[in-house]
Chains A and B, each alone.
Chain A
Amino acid sequence: MPAAVAGSSRRSGRRRPREEAGLKRANFGDSPGLPTLLLLPQLLILLFFFFIPSLRALMQSVLLSDPFGTNVQFVWFDNFKTLLASGDYRQSIAVTFWFTVAQNVLTLGSALVLAFATDRIVRGRSAYRTIILLPYAIAPAIAGILWAFLFNPAVGPLAQVLHGLGIAWDPNLNPTDALILVTLAASWKHICYDYIFLVVGLLAVPVSLMEAAAVDGAGPIRRFVSIALPMLGPTIFFLTVMNFIYGFFETFAIIDAVTKGGPAGATNILVYKVFVDGFVNLDLGSSAAQSVLLMSFALICTLLQFRYFDRKVNYGV
């Protein structure tokens, strides 16, 4: 898609139907009026809610202003320097890293096992699939609340099981417990996403290959590891990137509904810190600098995601 960008359609003296990326051969010609009108709603919304705010974030990130916006000073990269030197921010990076990696491993691992099992069985496949897909419909905030109840140290049934085993479980006080709680909730909500892509991906693995391997004496697990898994490579890569995006950005609701970043910043992931610093502490410069760093991260993720499209085309998986 992005690789196949044609040059701008310069108007030469004579109109000559030229192949152009993503343009129908039979098209409605050169008049710019109607297409502009058609694009206008999308572009206006993008302008107001994407481009101007992004530019503002870039500008604010090099400014220092007091909470009332009366005194604004241009400070170059001071906001970034302060940010990277601050222990809070480093803690937030570490928390986000562990949270996202743990969630990624748990989600992708479980989804792979479940997808393998679904691919093997014939009976009851759609019933299992329906149930496993359910969490996709449930808001991250609600997923968080459900797990917060299960693990609530006073009333939660799973917390009671843990207490029965002699584990002093309390996510309100213990940072590790809190991180485990939000990781479980985030993974529970997201396994279904990886699962459905893997199930669809497995359907595309040629039966003839599997049969040939079976004739050669490879067992079901061996076939899965040596044939299906490599063919799922691009899908797994794509899912890893998507899991990172999910962990970084979409888990905001879980954190806000369950732990509010606590205890002691143990679950204060980066996107939650942007919110707290911007809206609660009113430290606009720092919040904007954090936004800019997160944007760069999102940019890298999106570019990585596009490798998936290229490889997908090549292998036809």
Chain B
Amino acid sequence: MVERSPVLNMLCHAILIAGALTVCIPLYFAFVAGSLTVAEVQKVPLPWLPGGQFFDNLQLAWSKGNFSRTFTNSIIVALGITAGKIAVSLLSAFAITYFRFRYRMLAFWLIFMSLMLPIEVRIVPTFEAVANAALPLQWLLDTLRVADLWRWISGHEVAIALEWNMVNTYPGLILPLIASATATFLFRQFFLTIPEELCEAARLDGASPLHFFWSILLPLSVPNMVALAIILFLFGWNQYLWPLLFTTDKEMATAVIALKGLIPRSDSEPAWNIAMSGALLTMLPPVLVVLLLQRWFIKGLVDSSK
């Protein structure tokens, strides 16, 4: 930087090479194991060079993990979460920065509070909420004794039982993960940097709020949306806990969950070659996204935690 110090520079390269190797070693061995036969993968020591079974193993992993179905599910869920989060947050950010209304700060704080409650900590109640999304309405009816009221009015005995089961459905996988305080704040921060004149000009021209949103705000937000979309796609693809809970049906599982089924357990044949092929397959889409869109990815990562 300021002075030349070849020794320190060499040391820095050595450190970075060590770091890069640490990242690559698990990936390399996954590749090696994924290219061996079951017999070869059990040999001690494990060969250091790949064998010739790579594509056969990929094929086997693809069919064993039901990947033609689970990959589709993963894509739908990841894209659904990405699009949903961005849409929902854009609208809320627009509402709290561009409108003066009585409950503005309340809405802001409600969204803010959700930041403090990572969804992992209330696994059971959230599962209940997905198993029957109509439950809160049911409580309301029960508390207000609507059934009794109806009997009193009409003389008929009724039992109101509402049910909206979202287990094993795409909405059940997507909706609980869509609300996003961070994305809302990201867009809010961005909107606050947009010159006031743009909105004034739009209003002078008689543009409606939605028109302003659609033709001015949205196009300006595209870079932020792209950066955020990459992070959200990775987040959606790599989800584990919710697909694990909400998909009792194997056909609705995501790729990451299907991969779990390929890991050899102590009582089964140690087919690590198939497991590693499956791992490579499952990590491929997000890794490609990061490699291809790196500049945007870094921007999204740094932005989205501000």
Most B-side CB within 10 Å, residue of A138, A147, A211: A138
- Closest partner residue, chain A, to B99 (CB atom): A35
A-B CB pair tally, cutoff 8 Å: 354
Contact assessment for B116 and A136 in the assembled complex, using a CB-CB cutoff below 8 Å: no
Contact assessment for B178 and A9 in the assembled complex, using a CB-CB cutoff below 8 Å: no
Q: Which of B55-63, B146-154, B297-305 binds A?
A: B297-305
- A142 and B119 CA atoms in complex are apart in Å by 21
Q: How far is the CB of B9 from chain A (nearest CB, A)?
A: 6
- Closest partner residue, chain B, to A53 (CB atom): B125
Contact assessment for A142 and B125 in the assembled complex, using a CB-CB cutoff below 8 Å: no
Would you call the interface of chain B mostly helix, strand, loop, or mixed? helix
With A6-B105, A139-B238, A155-B41 as contacts: A196 and B122 at CB distance below 8 Å: no
Contact assessment for A271 and B121 in the assembled complex, using a CB-CB cutoff below 8 Å: yes
Contact assessment for B91 and A114 in the assembled complex, using a CB-CB cutoff below 8 Å: no
Chain A residues near B19 (CB, 8 Å)?
A: 110, 114, 117, 128, 131-132, 191
- Classify chain A's interface size: 35 or more
With A9-B102, A121-B12, A131-B23 as contacts: A53 and B1 at CB distance below 8 Å: no
Check if B107 is an interface residue, CB within 8 A of chain A. Answer: yes
Check if B251 is an interface residue, CB within 8 A of chain A. Answer: no
- A214 and B177 CA atoms in complex are apart in Å by 50
Q: How far is the CB of A130 from chain B (nearest CB, A)?
A: 6
Contact assessment for A157 and B29 in the assembled complex, using a CB-CB cutoff below 8 Å: yes
Total interface residues on B, using CB and 8 Å?
118
Check if A113 is an interface residue, CB within 8 A of chain B. Answer: yes
Chain A residues near B259 (CB, 8 Å)?
A: 141-142, 145
17 example contacts (A-B, Cβ-Cβ < 8 A) are as follows A39-B96, A42-B91, A51-B110, A53-B129, A114-B19, A121-B12, A132-B20, A133-B297, A139-B286, A146-B26, A148-B263, A149-B33, A150-B26, A154-B270, A172-B266, A295-B117, A298-B117
Give 9 closest A-B pairs by Cβ, nearest first: A139-B238, A53-B125, A253-B240, A56-B125, A117-B12, A35-B99, A38-B95, A35-B95, A26-B199
- Given contacts A27-B98, A256-B244, A309-B306, could you give 11 more A-B pairs where the C-beta distance is less than 8 Å? A23-B96, A39-B91, A45-B179, A48-B136, A50-B117, A120-B8, A139-B238, A142-B256, A155-B46, A214-B3, A275-B241
Q: Which B residues form the contact surface with A (CB < 8 A)?
A: 1-3, 5, 8-9, 11-13, 15-16, 19-20, 22-27, 29-30, 33, 41-42, 44-46, 87-89, 91-92, 94-105, 107-108, 110-130, 133, 136, 175-176, 178-179, 184-185, 188, 191-192, 194, 196-197, 199-200, 203, 209-210, 212, 234, 237-238, 240-241, 244-245, 256, 259-260, 263, 266, 270, 272, 275-276, 279, 282-283, 286-287, 289-291, 294, 297-298, 301-302, 305-306
Q: Which A residues form the contact surface with B (CB < 8 A)?
A: 1-2, 5-6, 8-9, 11, 20-32, 34-36, 38-39, 41-43, 45-54, 56-57, 60, 110, 113-114, 116-121, 124, 128, 130-143, 145-150, 152, 154-157, 160, 172, 188, 191-193, 196-197, 200, 207, 210-211, 214, 220-221, 238, 242, 245, 249-250, 252-253, 256-257, 271, 274-275, 278-279, 284, 287-288, 291, 294-295, 298-299, 302-303, 309
